[in-house]
Amino acid sequence: MPSAPSHPPRTRVLVVDDDQLLCAGLAAILRTTDDLEVVAAVHDGDQVLGAVDAHRPEVVLLDIRMPRLDGISVARLLATRPGAPRVVMMTTFDSEDTVLQALSAGAVGFLLKTADPRHIIDAVRSAAVGDSPLSPASARSLVRLVGPGSRAELLAEAGRRAELLTERERGVAARVGRGLTNTQIAREMHVGEATVKSHLAEVQRKWGCANRTQVAVLADRAGLTQEG
């Protein structure tokens, strides 16, 4: 008697969004496929860790802005766990700062909520197999920030640029790389905001950076974000 055809296991997905209608819509889109399984949907960041423990998803489709615990914070918490699911961030806006924060927090991909349903499905599939899905605008931003060259070359160049900075400038660059605002940097370094702005402007001049997002990328590459 012939055996029943076997089917490959489906990718388990957790959907997280504080807009319950949108959350249901995303789940419905993913359920139109044969290879994706929505194992749960929750509506705030403080529910994610429990849902991950209970349902063991391989991919988390995660909103950034939520009332009690935001997606960036959730991604950072998940990244500390062994065998953590792969996180694809979703938002209603797309900016270099947001993309950088999401990816620095451990997200593997970044999508707009207005993306075509096929793009959302493809993004989840890509994340599941180890790729990094990005919205087209996000991809363009990162290409501009990262530029050509191997990872070793990029790290070496970042290290050389870091040597150009004074101790105070390194401190500002490090904190920009960790996502702090000028006000937070001033508080940590016990200086005025005008001083922070002055140091940041000098960092941008020495590094040839057009904005603080590019400073953050270089600071991370140079290992400055691990400094005090």
For the CA atoms of 106, 20, 122, 30, the dihedral, rounded to the nearest 10 degrees, stands at 130
Distance CA 202, CA 176 (A): 13
143 residue type, one letter: V
Q: Which two tokens stand for residue 63?
A: 């909103």
Helix (H, G, I), strand (E, B) or coil at 49: helix
- pLDDT per residue over 23-75, tens digit each? 999 999 999 999 999 999 999 999 999 999 999 999 999 999 999 999 999 99
- pLDDT per residue over 159-179, tens digit each? 788 888 999 999 998 888 877
Confidence of residue 189 (pLDDT cuts 50, 70, 90): very high
Distance CA 82, CA 76 (A): 13
**Least confident range of 4-8, 106-110, 213-217:** 4-8
Distance CA 189, CA 172 (A): 8
Is the distance from CB of 18 to CB of 44 less than 8 angstroms?
Answer: yes
Is the distance from CB of 45 to CB of 73 less than 8 angstroms?
Answer: yes
- Nearest residue to 61 via CA among 100, 97, 93, 25: 25
Give the model's pLDDT for residue 163: 86
182 residue type, one letter: N
Kind plus residue range of the DSSP H or E element containing 123: helix 117-128
Give the model's pLDDT for residue 143: 47
